[in-house]
Chain A
């Protein structure tokens, strides 16, 4: 069952998980009658958060390239707050709002606001670092405390590319996940881009399975964390000017 997570990589899927281009989607409205393909709003909006101990590769799971880009500057200065990504699944267009909690790994520093609206929670550990696995119960405690009960959970053992340094056996993590109701497990390598797209697709698929059939997207969007931070959200204010290096 767990191995279901390792969906076959899509052929020619260099496009990350940002979805294959939709062709021939049903026209949605008359406002763009001049175009062959009408703009199509998203069918669903889902919030996903990525949590886990420091250094397990949470951010890498959101990235496709890691070198030589603005992120070099971002990481040390401003930082990426969240991303909107679009996936296509079951003929539906789904907008994901993905929050990476990197930099706030102290268990109590990630406030409830991040958890509250999340429909999917990805809990990451590093298969080469025992302590990141031992931290999992603490992360679970946070989920129990703050997250919605019906949030889908996915445990990800990252850094599969470092198989030689593995200290957490696959079975060990499978056992951990099986004790938590509704938690799935898979291993991935953000570095090699192995299973990364699938992680998100799998999670979204699980979320969709749980949804009442025609749930209005309006209702869903309410669950999404707004950009206006609630008073309790702590993001430390960066300096007023972006600095380089």
Chain B
């Protein structure tokens, strides 16, 4: 079935992410709570954040799944499945990002995507909270 094939792909890619250290944010967070490494797109390497520009924040956010190949995710109910993610990089100004894309509004939410290859969502922004832009640790690579 298509959907189970999709889940296999997701599990595999999650393992890849975790080998980058996401399962243990302590590798990535400096003493002052900032990102020690550059945050880059896990697909194309486009730089999202320079080291030291974001603070580590825990907040439960639902992000639709990353889809490497949308054709493999032919869900019958037409909805996105996704993950509730807790570990994020937080910045208070969108100009802190090196490169990032914003989707159009989905209700009060704008999802953040890679500015170059447009994979995503890699992050989350609520229009009611102008000072909070989140990038999920699980959805990016740290180099």
Flag the segment in A3-11, A48-56, A67-75, A112-120 that touches B.
A67-75
How many residues of chain B get a CB closer than 8 Å to chain A's CBs? 50
Q: How distant is A172 from chain B, measured CB to nearest CB, in Å? A: 33
Q: Per a CB cutoff under 8 Å, which of B34, B73, B94, B119 touches A84?
A: B94
Chain B hits for A86, CB < 8 A: 47, 98-99
How many residues of chain A get a CB closer than 8 Å to chain B's CBs? 48
A69-B119 contact, Cβ under 8 Å, with A79-B104, A81-B104, A228-B127: yes
Q: Is A142 an interface residue (CB 8 A)?
A: no
Q: Per a CB cutoff under 8 Å, which of B50, B51, B121 touches A70?
A: B121
A244 touches B78 (CB 8 A): yes
Q: Per a CB cutoff under 8 Å, which of B43, B50, B52, B101 touches A80?
A: B101
B78 touches A16 (CB 8 A): no
Q: Interface digits, B52-85 against A, CB 8 Å rule (1 contact, 0 not)?
A: 1100000000001011111001110011100000
Q: How distant is A143 from chain B, measured CB to nearest CB, in Å? A: 24
A80 touches B118 (CB 8 A): yes
B52 touches A73 (CB 8 A): no
A41 to B96, CA, bound (A): 7
Chain B hits for A81, CB < 8 A: 101-105, 110
Which residues of A, 216-245, contact B by the 8 Å Cβ criterion? 221, 227-228, 235, 237-238, 240-245
A39 touches B51 (CB 8 A): yes
Q: How distant is A92 from chain B, measured CB to nearest CB, in Å? A: 14
A120 to B34, CA, bound (A): 34
Q: Is A132 an interface residue (CB 8 A)?
A: no
Chain A hits for B121, CB < 8 A: 70
Q: Interface digits, A30-59 against B, CB 8 Å rule (1 contact, 0 not)?
A: 001011011111100100000000000000
Chain A hits for B74, CB < 8 A: 245
Closest residue of chain A to B47 (Cβ to Cβ) is A18
B70 touches A245 (CB 8 A): yes
Q: Is A159 an interface residue (CB 8 A)?
A: no
A69 touches B80 (CB 8 A): no
Q: Is A82 an interface residue (CB 8 A)?
A: yes
B130 touches A235 (CB 8 A): no
Q: Is B97 an interface residue (CB 8 A)?
A: yes
Binding site for A on B (CB under 8 A): 30-31, 34, 43-44, 46-47, 50-53, 64, 66-70, 73-75, 78-80, 94-107, 110-111, 113, 115-121, 125, 127, 130
Closest 3 CB pairs of A and B: A71-B118, A39-B52, A83-B101
Q: List 8 A-B contacts (CB under 8 A).
A: A71-B118, A73-B67, A74-B113, A83-B102, A86-B98, A227-B130, A235-B105, A244-B80
